[in-house]
Amino acid sequence: MPLPKRLPPIARPMIRTERELVAYVVRVVVLCAVLAVALDVLNQLTFFIDWQTSFRSWIISALVASVIAAPVALAIARTHLELYEAKLVVEELSRTDPLTGLLNRRALLGFTDGGMPEVMALVIADIDRFKAVNDSHGHLAGDEVIKMIGHAMQAELGTFGQVGRIGGEEFALVSSAGATEILIAALWDFRDRIAATPIVVGSASIRVTISIGVASRRPDQSFAELFAEADRALYLAKASGRNRVVSSDELHEPDITTPREPAAEASSERKYRSMG
């Protein structure tokens, strides 16, 4: 049966740190000592002998109550602290992809629950022909490829926002930092490095490429609509040859077969900022 919500804090402790644990133990010990002395005072009012005897009795009562209360309060406080820490671990596990250590789909998309920022871009990246990696090198090697791509994406693009794995060989970045042009230039650089850098797993040297779709949020656009645009941009990147970055702006251009690369000045600006 749950405790009534109106019980005092000492009966419903919220202990989240060692400092709060010590404070709780001190409060319990002081309270028990005071109650023990109060009961002894009532007893002395009935069976009073002299003041010396009364003071000695009160001191003994306070000491006995403190000695009994301290280990009990410590055990209770330690249990509550461990429960709180276990809760934090469970919450962290529920938000984390176990393979890469990145945010999972639930946590990544949860950043929009409290309302989306004014400036926002959504990036969806997918490893090209990933089934061939599993078929040629095995699923354990495939897992290593996913981990390496995820870690590289976090290292190179994490400054733009929150990076996560949203399923299989698919990753996402929710960005609210900087101009979209700078982000797209960084995405092309990231694509180039993935394509140029083999992933070594055991004795195998595995080369993969990635396709990326990116969408910038328009005013009053919902996150579901933004996600759909980024997903369509990713589909266009796949359909037009893979190993490229496609912006949702290109979805509205007629006869787009080859997505355009970023302007040289945008790429230069991004590199200049990274050097600074």
pLDDT at 260: 55
Is 50 exceeded by the pLDDT of residue 269? no
- Select, from the ranges 5-14, 85-94, 134-143, the one with the highest average predicted confidence (pLDDT): 134-143
- Selected residue with higher pLDDT from 203 and 110: 203
pLDDT confidence band for 188 (50 / 70 / 90): very high
- Selected residue with higher pLDDT from 34 and 115: 34
pLDDT digits (tens, 9 = 90+) for 214-240: 999 888 888 888 999 999 999 999 999
Is 80 exceeded by the pLDDT of residue 91? no
pLDDT confidence band for 4 (50 / 70 / 90): low
pLDDT confidence band for 196 (50 / 70 / 90): very high
Q: In this structure, are strands 170-175 and 161-167 parallel, antiparallel, or unpaired?
A: antiparallel
Q: What is the spatial distance between Cα 164 and Cα 153, in angstroms, rounded to a whole number?
A: 9
pLDDT at 50: 72
- Rounded percentage of the chain residues whose pLDDT exceeds 70: 80
- 3-class SS letters over the chain: CCCCCCCCCCCCCCCCCHHHHHHHHHHHHHHHHHHHHHHHHHHHHHCCCCHHHHHHHHHHHHHHHHHHHHHHHHHHHHHHHHHHHHHHHHHHHHHECCCCCCECHHHHHHCCCCCCCCCCEEEEEEECCHHHHHHHHCHHHHHHHHHHHHHHHHHHHHHHEEEEEEECCEEEEEECCCCHHHHHHHHHHHHHHHHHCCEEECCEEECCCEEEEEEECCCCCCHHHHHHHHHHHHHHHHHCCCCCEEEHHHHHCCCCCCCCCCCHHHHHHHHHHHHC
- Selected residue with higher pLDDT from 63 and 46: 63
Is 60 exceeded by the pLDDT of residue 210? yes
Residues that are catalytic: 169
pLDDT at 118: 62
Is 80 exceeded by the pLDDT of residue 7? no
pLDDT digits (tens, 9 = 90+) for 122-167: 999 999 999 999 999 999 999 999 999 999 999 999 999 999 999 8
Is 70 exceeded by the pLDDT of residue 266? no
**201 alpha carbon, distance to own chain's centre:** 28
Q: What is the CA radius of gyration of the chain?
A: 31
**How does the average pLDDT of the chain come out, rounded?**
82
Average pLDDT over residues 40-67: 79
The position carrying tokens 């945008």 is 266
pLDDT at 198: 94
Structure tokens at 235: 């589909």
